Amino acid sequence: MSGTLVLVRHGQSEWNLKNLFTGWRDPDLTELGVTEAKAGGKALAEYGIKFDIAFTSVLIRAQRTCQMVLDAVGQSSLETIFDQALNERDYGDLSGLNKDDARAKWGEEQVHIWRRSYDVPPPGGESLRDTGARVWPYYLTEILPRVLAGEKVLVAAHGNSLRSLVMVLDRLTKEQVLNLNLATGVPMVYKLKADSTVASKEVLGDMSAAH
């Protein structure tokens, strides 16, 4: 048996609450987001895991979630690596727009395609495939080797950067990943085999709360 990989999507952000496209913009967590992040940390503390290293993005909502998880498991000063490879999908020209306003400007169908297709990016932004194209190499070179060495690794990131990872770990097709929604603050615990495939997966919380 190899190591353990834990993925946590950040808690609700201020722009999630306002129904805005966020992407690489940097709003903070809401009070609910803080509660969600702490709940995820509590679930991991009860699970009994201790981490060897943590990875997160360069955006504050993921960084604060990461820190609250580490606080909850009693590892507040654990080495944490920040990298924009783990950033949320870049929504380009949609960033900062209200989703209803975007629908009014470009049409319901076009906005739906940008949001939910696999390989059609919004103007100036990234598709899910584009997001994966930066997440996957980073995972393979920086994160996976630590897990395969037997370490317990925390990754606190974003809905789409984590969907890219889950797509590979769970062997989802590009059609299946479009229907994947990750709950905020809910840890997913993967145990990996020596060949990097998944030996087991546990979700520590209520996935029905997925936004």
What is the pLDDT at residue 202? 97
Q: Is the model's pLDDT at 2 over the cut of 90?
A: no
Q: Is the model's pLDDT at 210 over the cut of 90?
A: no
Give the model confidence (pLDDT) of 74-115 as tens digits: 999 999 999 999 999 999 999 999 999 999 999 999 999 998
- Residue pair 59/88 in contact (Cβ under 8 Å)? The answer is yes
Q: Is the model's pLDDT at 208 over the cut of 50?
A: no
What the block records as the tokens of 209 is 């709360």
Q: Give me the catalytic one of 36, 88, 126, 158.
A: 88
Average pLDDT, the chain: 94
Q: Give me the catalytic one of 10, 36, 126, 158.
A: 10
Helix (H) or strand (E) holding 157, with range, is strand 152-157
Residue with tokens 């990989």: 5
Active site residue 175: no
**Strand pairing category for 4-9 and 188-192:** antiparallel
All domains of the chain in start order, with CATH: 4-88+132-209 (3.40.50.1240)
**Residue 205 binned pLDDT confidence (cut-offs 50, 70, 90):** confident
- The residues that bridge with 4 in the sheet, in sequence order, are 152, 191
DSSP for 121-136, written as a single string: PPTTS--HHHHHHHHH
Active site residue 88: yes
